Amino acid sequence: MRTRLKGRAVPGATTARLALGLVLLTVATAGACTVPPDAPPRTAPGHHVRHTARAATGLDDPAKKEIAMQLVSSAENSSLDWRAQYQYIEDIGDGRGYTGGIIGFTSGTHDMLELVELYTHRKPDNVLAGYLPALRAVDGGDSHEGLDPGFPKAWKKAARDPAFRKAQNDERDRLYFRPAVERGKADGIGALGQFAYYDALVVHGEGDDPTGFPAIRKRALAKAEPPSRGGDEKTYLNAFLDARVWAMRQEEAHSDTSRIDTAQRVFLKDGNLDLHTPLNWKVYGERYHLG
């Protein structure tokens, strides 16, 4: 589902980090005061910490990561069972060729090619290796030339191989999950914000086009400062989701913005910045519940 550019590496997180904890104030008496630690997890809508980056459980916590996988799967596959999606493959008519796997690797946006190259590097004699020349040829478009009719069947067969499933996990983390968490932590946002970054990277990629993740974040920064720069977390995330909705509406394939409007925006309105369960949301009109 991405619009990422071929061969571009995901930018690493910025090296700047806002120091948390002690704030030393020089006063006439040469005394010092200490800012108290962050408040406990939120239990009331709208309650949030202003003007400071929070030290909280990140999306890379195993329990939070599992929630993230289920949330994305509800939007990408209309199911919470994300592990059942290793074998998924079809052309959904979005101009990106075949879409397959746990986060929708696509034959037209380079990440499916990278996935099969990794799998073949680790296990040269696999059922997808013979399709590498065709994947290289169709990369950047929606053509199936050299892939039909056997590629979907071969993909589903490969999905029974633990090595292929691990390759999907590793490429998801390398290209999308880790960059989202690192960038989110650098911006001082909690698990919800890191998930918003992850979901945006999954759909839009990190290319330099007007609807890529960097452009979405830049659009948000023009409206609000993140906590790492002294801004309010909820205000900044509202600006980011506004920018994300704008980006989705630039393309017919992503014109349904319910993964924002009736999911991420609901959690934000409730003040659930750390993605605590229970969670209730809707995508494409279908209701989901966790916890």
Q: How many CB atoms lie within 10 A of CB 54?
A: 18
In eight-state DSSP terms, residue 98 is E
**Rounded CA separation 117/129 (Å):** 8
25 touches 32 (CB < 8 A): yes
Q: Side-chain half-sphere of 85: how many Cα atoms within 13 Å?
A: 24
- Residue labelled with tokens 């909820």: 234
Residue type, 37: P
Q: Checking phi first, is residue 93 left (phi over 0); if not, alpha (psi -120 to 50) or beta?
A: left
Specify whether 76 is catalytic. yes
The Cα angle at residue 256 between residues 168 and 263, in degrees rounded to 5: 70
- Residue labelled with tokens 């030339």: 145
Catalytic residue among 60, 66, 81, 94, which? Answer: 94
Catalytic residue among 76, 91, 206, 233, which? Answer: 76
**Rounded CA separation 249/245 (Å):** 6
Residues marked as catalytic? 76, 94
